[in-house]
Amino acid sequence: MNEYTSADAIACLRSAGVPVTHQRIEIARALFSAPVHLSADQLWAKVREQAPDVSRATVYNTLRLFSDKGLVRELFVDPARVVFDSTTRPHFHLYNMDTGEVRDLADDELQVVGVPRLPAGTVLQEVDVIVRVRKRPD
């Protein structure tokens, strides 16, 4: 298991043009050590394990910045829930509405074929597919 170090986090922030701070390093390590889909509060809890001084506002502001810089992707899984995805390459998701779990679908699990005719003057920003499941009723 190769660990995602502070040096890795610093390199990541610099390459995205994000000014490096101690808090941003800790937040980057919590996000990028392994692929995750976390709400802001889940991320805050994870960051505090290593850096108890990081405030909730700092986590929220940093997620906004990381999202603007393309380091994380915001995923609106339901009207009341946003998670931040540490994987930014195009991929689709499976969302369990009962447990709240979000996982990536493998490329061979679901494919979207074709691109719709786009309205004049627009460019394709993203194709977002979330497959929602719930427990089968007994």
How far apart (Å, rounded) are the C-alpha atoms in residues 88 and 73? 6
**What is the closest distance, in whole angstroms, from the C-beta atom of residue 23 to Zn ion in the complex?**
24
How far apart (Å, rounded) are the C-alpha atoms in residues 16 and 70? 8
Tell me whether residue 108 or residue 138 sits nearer to Zn ion (CB atom).
108
Site string for Zn ion, 57-96 (x = CB under 5 A): ----------------------------x-x---------
Question: CB-side exposure of 24: number of CA atoms within 13 Å?
Answer: 21
Beta bridge partners of 130: 93
**What is the closest distance, in whole angstroms, from the C-beta atom of residue 131 to Zn ion in the complex?**
12
Structure tokens at 100: 């709240």
**What is the closest distance, in whole angstroms, from the C-beta atom of residue 88 to Zn ion in the complex?**
9
CB 133 within 8 A of CB 95: yes
Tell me whether residue 44 or residue 95 sits nearer to Zn ion (CB atom).
95
Site string for Zn ion, 91-120 (x = CB under 5 A): -------------x----------------
Tell me whether residue 54 or residue 85 sits nearer to Zn ion (CB atom).
85
- Decide: is 38 part of the binding site for Zn ion (CB under 5 A): no
Structure-token match 């990541």, residue found: 12
The distance from CA 68 to its chain's CA centroid, rounded to whole angstroms, is: 12
Closest CA to 31 of 71, 74, 82: 71
Tell me whether residue 122 or residue 125 sits nearer to Zn ion (CB atom).
125
Binding site for Zn ion (CB under 5 A): 85, 87, 104
